[in-house]
Amino acid sequence: MDMTTHEVEEMLSITKKTLIYYENEGLVKPARDSNNYRNYNQEDVSRIKFILLLREMDVTIEEIKQIINDKKSIRDVLENKKDMIKKQHLDLENIDERINNYIKRRKVKIAVDHVLDYGTISDRLYFYKDYLQYGQTKINYSDVKYFKLSMSSSIGLMRVLVAHMNYYVDLDVVTQHDTYSFQIMNNEVVYQMMERIKDYSIEDPLGLVDIYLNKRDMVQLNQYINRHFRKWAKEYHLDNPRESILKKE
């Protein structure tokens, strides 16, 4: 039983425009009635179903033509497609790795107005009078839209079987064109950074500027953070912990 264009559209959830496109590409050739309306027989409908199936597998129109004209087998086309997808997947993984490496939070030690002695961590973030310097990247304060402050924790070992929490300030430097993300590793000099950035626009939901400026004693500072960090972590979805040196058995 022949079907009209509208009936084929309804049955296969396909648009008239697509049907005409397939016809213009020579993939299907419906008969015409006396009024020049298209009539699709069962073979035409089966051909369209076949085309739609291949299109769902991202087979191109040109490849479908080669299959229909017996120039290529379905298996050859699909196996080639599979190989191409594998390559694309590897390419995407490489791109994803490069993106993650670019946007990741860098562990740094900070220094204000002076050169920091080299230690175990190679990355350094310098705060000078008019700019910040990280590696080859120079960020003028005039280009900074705002600084964003947060915090994370990690689990460390004080001695055998005695764990303790380490706390680190997270700093995001947001400019017009990019965001630079850091984890400050030398907590004892963070107050110097706060002195340098306190007069700029800062997103600081934890109130870290005031905390670090008013609590210079490290024991007092750690005790204060210990009392409040769990609440902060829950309220602001902080990494708690971000890292742990404790190994799971």
Task: Label residue 146 by pLDDT band (50, 70, 90).
Answer: very high
Instruction: Return the pLDDT at 103.
Output: 85
User: Would 132 be classed as within a structural domain?
Assistant: yes
Task: Identify which of 69, 59, 20, 70 has the alpha carbon closest to the alpha carbon of residue 40.
Answer: 20
Q: Please give the tally of structural domains in the chain.
A: 2
**Are 222 and 167 contacting, i.e. CB atoms less than 8 angstroms apart?**
yes
Instruction: Return the pLDDT at 223.
Output: 93
User: What are the CB-based long-range contacts (under 8 Å, 24+) for 219-228?
Assistant: 221/187, 222/167, 225/151, 225/167, 226/165
Residues 157 and 230 in one domain: yes
Domain interval for residue 202: 106-244
pLDDT tens for 206-221 read 999 999 999 999 999 9
Residues 30 and 151 in one domain: no
User: Considering only 4-8, 52-56, 238-242, which range has the smallest mean pLDDT?
Assistant: 238-242
User: Considering only 110-114, 132-136, 193-197, which range has the smallest mean pLDDT?
Assistant: 110-114
Strand ranges inside the chain, DSSP E = 31-32, 38-39, 106-112, 124-127, 131-134, 137-140, 144-159, 162-175, 179-184, 202-203, 243-244
Residues 240 and 117 in one domain: yes
Residues 52 and 119 in one domain: no
Residues 116 and 56 in one domain: no
User: Would 249 be classed as within a structural domain?
Assistant: no
User: Before 30, cis peptide (omega within 30)?
Assistant: no
Mean pLDDT within 90-116: 85
User: Would 180 be classed as within a structural domain?
Assistant: yes
Residues 119 and 219 in one domain: yes
Picking from 100, 134, 149, the residue at the C-terminal end of a domain is 100
Picking from 100, 128, 144, the residue at the C-terminal end of a domain is 100
Instruction: Return the pLDDT at 116.
Output: 58
Picking from 70, 100, 130, the residue at the C-terminal end of a domain is 100
Mean pLDDT within 73-83: 90
Instruction: Return the pLDDT at 177.
Output: 86
User: Would 154 be classed as within a structural domain?
Assistant: yes
User: Would 50 be classed as within a structural domain?
Assistant: yes
User: Would 238 be classed as within a structural domain?
Assistant: yes
Given a cut of 70, whether residue 184 has pLDDT beyond it is yes
With 0.75 as the threshold, say if the pTM is over it: no
Residues 84 and 152 in one domain: no
Provide the CATH number for the domain around residue 32. Answer: 1.10.1660.10
Given a cut of 60, whether residue 143 has pLDDT beyond it is yes
Provide the CATH number for the domain around residue 226. Answer: 3.30.720.90
User: Considering only 29-43, 95-109, 150-164, 198-212, which range has the smallest mean pLDDT?
Assistant: 150-164
Residues 75 and 44 in one domain: yes
Q: Which residue has the higher pLDDT, 33 or 243?
A: 33
- Cα separation, 47 vs 72, in Å, equals 16
